[in-house]
């Protein structure tokens, strides 16, 4: 280890990406909603950062952190162009490609893979020995005892309690360098460096490629009730939406019997409801339950199903600045006699 | 061999024993005419060691000790047993301790006299089983020889360092403890995926004179350059988790490639200020954490 230690913030002019957070809690809460895998794809662009986590090609979760969530946000687009150009040239050189027209559409975003669990550990360094003051009751993905409302989760009556808050300076200088955090609380400074990895082609469940045939917005507390009723011994959960009664039903069949939650089209419960095609789709329950933390933090949830039966939950999470979004997309389970060869993605 | 005494400051004695509670199951008690020493050796080569001494006059009255070996007595005891016995002595009217035999086995007999609510006397006898060590056995227990340290610095509030150490302990099996002469102390951990260094600033450095009367090596580095020793994470966390008899009075000394040593100075009331380092100190605890051998 070097004898001289440095802990000054990186220079925004010289660095690809720098940002500052007055309080890390909103970021930590957002990251925890998608922390069911150790690694995440991090996409940085002029509009913000998106963290993407994928599992078994049947669930993709994304947390969108817009620039408004940060006190300062500096993304050096010019440097990004340079770096992406170098990377593309290196890639096409090694693949021996003749076609140089690819270089015209250089993406101005930067993508790297980060160890997400370590990132959260670093951000919560000053939280105290047990990580108290955080969503500690929900870090386990397999013990589903119940989902509570946001204010209880945040542990106190003031959801914006920023006492003893950690500030963070973030810096990243492009693929090949470490992702750096400089955290400070009450005069103590921690400098963290996280290893980064070159991303593999991301799994894209292509939700938007197919028309959305069903949609509704439901207050999250209702959906939390439904989730609490689901039988955890059931392999699958069925979501049925139709233009006639029963409009929206969630059901499971397990060793304890069957459960069914039905919602009427009442405006007070379901908002912006439409259904062009009546469909009933099944999804793997254990994967569906991975969105419980995001559900717990949100006020409202937008549910959409596309023509292929893929399901999207969009959770609207209030932060002190505005609303942030976390998205979960699920591939449906297919019955054995419906399995099709080819390029379609199936959840098994 | 004879030993009997009145414990006049049961509170201080309890707190000294409590500070070793998490380190090991048993410890060595060395009694001399002037001092009481408690020694814990967790592992002779690689483990944390604690050597402590308290002046007899700060703990005892009517102190009598006699033995064939320079009037010293060496005992091995269970920390938990002694701790429990001393707890019952808190606030007592009179507590005595003596070395004796019960049912043919050597014990430290602690007799606590209290007044009940009605005013009558209550006497509680607790026998702490001990093993007497022979002079030959005691000679094998030697305080580690440590070269002069390169830097001495007062520790920051222990609870903040402890809570951070608890968070980083899963990230590596060793921790680098570093300090400079500019009031900065750092702890660092690293593995394949993450590297974390935490800086505590604004701390007080001590000059050589106050702690070591021996030779003063010329500093070979600038004041902001760090001296560093890499120790076992578990030993470091165990030290931080211990109850501390004087948590504001801990000096950290780093001897590169050798050890990290923590000195705690105990004033008569147990909370002496920094001044207690020299004049009013009635005792000290020294924690040795050796550098981790690859």
Q: What is the set of domains in chain A, with CATH numbers?
A: 4-194 (3.70.10.10), 207-338 (3.70.10.10)
Q: How far apart are CA A328 and CA A60, in angstroms?
A: 6
Residue B228 falls within a domain, yes or no?
yes
8 Å CB contact between A123 and A166: yes
Q: How far apart are CA B22 and CA B40, in angstroms?
A: 11
Partner residue facing A188 (CB), from B188, B194, B198: B198
Which residues of A are less than 8 Å from B183 in CB distance? none
- Average the pLDDT over A274-301 and give the result: 93
For an interface test with B, the pick among A178, A192, A196, A197 (most B C-beta atoms closer than 10 Å) comes out as: A192
8 Å CB contact between B135 and B154: no
Query: Using one digit for the tens of pLDDT, what is the confidence trace for A138-158?
Result: 333 333 334 433 433 333 333
Rounding to the nearest 10 degrees, give the CA dihedral for residues B128, B131, B135, B140: -110
What is the pLDDT, as a whole number, of residue B119? 84
Residue B146 falls within a domain, yes or no?
no
Q: How far apart are CA B269 and CA B283, in angstroms?
A: 11
Least confident of A140-144, A213-217, A318-322, B88-92: A140-144
Query: Using one digit for the tens of pLDDT, what is the confidence trace for A253-265?
Result: 888 788 889 988 7
Q: Beta strands A72-75 and B151-154: pairing type? A: unpaired
Q: How far apart are CA A280 and CA A288, in angstroms?
A: 16
Which residues of A are less than 8 Å from B198 in CB distance? 125, 188-191
8 Å CB contact between A160 and A13: no
Task: Compute CA distances B110 → A208, A245, A278, B129, B133, whole Å.
Answer: 79, 81, 83, 11, 20
Asked if residue A9 has pLDDT above 80, the reply is no
Task: Return the number of other C-beta atoms located less than 10 Å from residue B55's C-beta.
Answer: 15
Are both B171 and B126 inside the same structural domain? no
Residue B223 falls within a domain, yes or no?
yes
Residue B143 falls within a domain, yes or no?
no
DSSP character for B205? B
Query: Using one digit for the tens of pLDDT, what is the confidence trace for A75-103?
Result: 998 888 888 887 777 777 655 544 444 44
Are both B193 and B75 inside the same structural domain? no
Q: How far apart are CA B211 and CA B253, in angstroms?
A: 10
Are both B19 and B107 inside the same structural domain? yes
What is the pLDDT, as a whole number, of residue A88? 75
Are both B194 and B116 inside the same structural domain? no
What is the pLDDT, as a whole number, of residue B291? 93
What is the pLDDT, as a whole number, of residue B272? 42
- Average the pLDDT over B124-149 and give the result: 90
Query: Using one digit for the tens of pLDDT, what is the confidence trace for B6-64?
Result: 999 999 999 899 988 888 899 999 999 999 999 998 877 678 999 999 999 999 999 99
Are both B74 and B180 inside the same structural domain? no
Asked if residue B100 has pLDDT above 70, the reply is yes
Phi and psi torsions of B201, nearest 5°: -120, 170
The mean pLDDT value of chain A amounts to: 81
Reference A113, options A17, A18, A173, A202; nearest CA is A202
A4: confidence class by pLDDT, cuts 50, 70, 90: very low
Token pair 């051998």 is found at: B293
Are both B99 and B205 inside the same structural domain? no
Q: Which residue has the higher pLDDT, A179 or B294?
A: A179
What is the pLDDT, as a whole number, of residue A155? 38
- Total number of domains constituting chain B: 2
Are both B176 and B235 inside the same structural domain? yes
**CATH number for position B261:** 3.70.10.10
Task: Compute CA distances B154 → A64, A97, A185, B180, whole Å.
Answer: 44, 63, 20, 11
At residue A86, the 3 state secondary structure works out as helix
* Residue range(s) defining the domain that contains residue B257: 151-290
**Looking at chain A from residue 179 to 218, which residues have their Cβ under 8 Å from any Cβ of chain B?**
186-195
DSSP character for B11? H
8 Å CB contact between A134 and A156: no
Q: In B, what residues contact A, Cβ < 8 A?
A: 156, 160, 162-164, 166-168, 171, 176, 178, 184, 186, 188, 192-202, 221, 224-226, 228
Query: A4 and B226 in contact by Cβ < 8 A?
Result: yes
Partner residue facing B196 (CB), from A5, A186, A190: A190
Are both B8 and B126 inside the same structural domain? yes
End-of-domain residue from the set B116, B138, B160:
B138
End-of-domain residue from the set B138, B171, B190:
B138
Burial class of residue A214 (count of CB atoms within 10 Å of its CB; 0-12, 13-18, 19+)? buried
Q: How many residue pairs from chains A and B have C-beta atoms closer than 8 A?
A: 77
State percent of chain A over pLDDT 90: 53
Which residues of B are less than 8 Å from A193 in CB distance? 194-196
Reference A285, options A149, A162, A141; nearest CA is A141
Q: Which residues, at least 6 apart from B251, have a Cβ–Cβ distance to it below 8 Å? A: B152, B153, B154, B155, B206, B211, B262, B263, B264, B265, B277
Query: A188 and B221 in contact by Cβ < 8 A?
Result: no
Residue B90 falls within a domain, yes or no?
yes
Burial class of residue B279 (count of CB atoms within 10 Å of its CB; 0-12, 13-18, 19+)? exposed
Query: Does A7 contact B at CB distance below 8 Å?
Result: yes
Are both B127 and B189 inside the same structural domain? no
Reference A1, options B226, B193, B224; nearest CA is B226
Phi and psi torsions of A79, nearest 5°: -60, -35
Are both B169 and B208 inside the same structural domain? yes
Burial class of residue B155 (count of CB atoms within 10 Å of its CB; 0-12, 13-18, 19+)? buried
Query: Does A128 contact B at CB distance below 8 Å?
Result: yes
Q: How far apart are CA B194 and CA A179, in angstroms?
A: 9
Query: A4 and B166 in contact by Cβ < 8 A?
Result: no
End-of-domain residue from the set B107, B138, B169:
B138
Are both B80 and B172 inside the same structural domain? no
What is the pLDDT, as a whole number, of residue A164? 60
Q: Which residues, at least 6 apart from B294, have a Cβ–Cβ distance to it below 8 Å? A: none
Rounding to the nearest 10 degrees, give the CA dihedral for residues A254, A256, A258, A259: -110
- Average the pLDDT over A316-331 and give the result: 91
Rounding to the nearest 10 degrees, give the CA dihedral for residues B75, B78, B80, B82: -30
Query: A189 and B168 in contact by Cβ < 8 A?
Result: no
Instruction: For A25-57, give the DSSP string.
Output: HHHHHHHHHTTTSSEEEEEEETTEEEEEEEETT
For residue A161, what are its two tokens? 């309690």
For an interface test with A, the pick among B177, B194, B240 (most A C-beta atoms closer than 10 Å) comes out as: B194
Which residues of B are less than 8 Å from A195 in CB distance? 192-194
What is the pLDDT, as a whole number, of residue B201? 95
State percent of chain B over pLDDT 70: 90
A335: confidence class by pLDDT, cuts 50, 70, 90: low
Partner residue facing A194 (CB), from B166, B193, B226: B193
For residue B25, what are its two tokens? 């199951």
Q: Which residues, at least 6 apart from B127, have a Cβ–Cβ distance to it below 8 Å? A: B102, B107, B108, B109, B110
Are both B51 and B125 inside the same structural domain? yes
Query: Using one digit for the tens of pLDDT, what is the confidence trace for A150-187?
Result: 433 333 333 444 446 899 999 999 989 999 999 999 89
Partner residue facing A188 (CB), from B160, B162, B192: B160
Task: Return the number of other C-beta atoms located less than 10 Å from residue B207's C-beta.
Answer: 10
- The verdict on whether omega for the bond into residue A246 sits within 30 degrees of 0, i.e. cis, is yes
């Amino acid at each position: 280890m070097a004898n001289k230690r440095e802990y000054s913030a990186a220079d925004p002019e010289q660095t690809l990406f720098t940002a500052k957070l007055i309080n890390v809690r909103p970021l930590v809460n957002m990251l925890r909603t998608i922390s069911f895998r150790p690694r995440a794809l991090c996409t940085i662009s002029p509009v913000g950062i998106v963290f993407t986590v994928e599992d078994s090609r049947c669930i993709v979760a994304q947390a969108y952190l817009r620039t408004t969530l940060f006190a300062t946000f500096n993304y050096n687009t010019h440097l990004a162009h340079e770096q992406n150009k170098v990377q593309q040239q290196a890639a096409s050189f090694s693949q021996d490609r003749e076609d140089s027209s690819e270089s015209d559409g250089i993406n101005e975003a930067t993508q790297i893979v980060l160890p997400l669990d370590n990132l959260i550990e670093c951000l919560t360094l000053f939280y105290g020995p047990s990580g108290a003051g955080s969503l500690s009751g929900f870090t386990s993905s397999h013990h589903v005892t119940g989902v509570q409302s946001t204010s209880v989760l945040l542990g106190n009556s003031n959801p914006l309690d920023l006492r003893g808050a950690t500030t963070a300076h973030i810096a990243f200088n492009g693929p090949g360098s470490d992702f750096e955090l400089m955290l400070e609380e009450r005069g103590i400074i921690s400098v963290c460096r996280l290893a980064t990895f070159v991303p593999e082609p991301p799994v894209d469940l292509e939700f938007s490629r197919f028309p959305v045939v069903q949609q509704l917005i439901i207050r999250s507390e209702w959906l939390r009730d439904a989730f609490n009723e689901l039988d955890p011994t059931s392999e699958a959960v069925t979501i049925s939406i139709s233009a006639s009664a029963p409009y929206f039903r969630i059901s499971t069949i397990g060793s304890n019997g069957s459960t069914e939650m039905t919602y009427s089209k009442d405006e007070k419960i379901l908002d912006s409801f439409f259904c062009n095609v009546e469909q009933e789709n099944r999804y793997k329950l254990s994967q569906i339950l991975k969105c419980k933390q995001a559900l717990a933090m949100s006020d409202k949830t937008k549910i959409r199903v596309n023509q292929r039966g893929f399901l999207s939950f969009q959770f609207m999470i209030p932060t002190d600045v505005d609303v942030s979004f976390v998205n979960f997309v699920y591939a449906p389970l297919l019955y054995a006699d419906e399995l099709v060869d080819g390029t379609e993605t199936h959840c098994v | 061999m004879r030993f009997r005494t009145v414990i006049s400051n049961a509170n201080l004695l309890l707190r000294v024993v409590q500070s070793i509670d998490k380190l090991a199951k048993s410890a060595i008690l060395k009694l001399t005419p002037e001092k009481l020493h408690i020694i814990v050796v967790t592992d002779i080569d690689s483990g944390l060691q604690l050597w402590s001494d308290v002046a007899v006059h700060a703990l005892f009255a009517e102190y009598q000790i006699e033995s064939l070996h320079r009037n010293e007595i060496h005992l091995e005891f269970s920390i938990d047993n002694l701790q429990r016995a001393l707890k019952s002595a808190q606030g007592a009217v009179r507590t005595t301790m003596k070395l004796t035999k019960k049912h043919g086995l050597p014990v430290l007999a602690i007799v606590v006299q209290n007044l009940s609510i009605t005013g009558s006397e209550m006497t509680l006898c607790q026998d702490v089983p001990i093993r007497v060590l022979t002079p030959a056995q005691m000679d094998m227990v030697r305080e580690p020889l440590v070269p002069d340290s390169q830097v001495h610095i007062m520790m920051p509030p222990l609870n903040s360092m402890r809570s951070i150490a608890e968070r980083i302990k899963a990230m590596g099996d060793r921790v680098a403890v570093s300090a400079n002469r500019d009031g900065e102390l750092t702890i660092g951990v690293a593995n394949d995926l993450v590297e974390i260094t935490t800086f505590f600033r604004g701390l007080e450095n001590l000059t050589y004179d106050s702690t070591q009367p021996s030779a003063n090596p010329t500093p070979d580095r600038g004041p902001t350059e760090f001296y560093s020793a890499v120790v076992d994470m578990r030993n470091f966390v165990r030290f931080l988790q211990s109850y501390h008899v004087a948590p504001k009075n801990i000096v950290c000394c780093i001897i590169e490639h050798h050890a990290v040593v923590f000195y705690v100075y105990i004033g008569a009331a147990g909370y002496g200020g920094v001044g207690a380092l020299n004049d009013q100190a009635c005792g000290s605890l020294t924690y040795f954490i050796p550098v981790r051998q690859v």
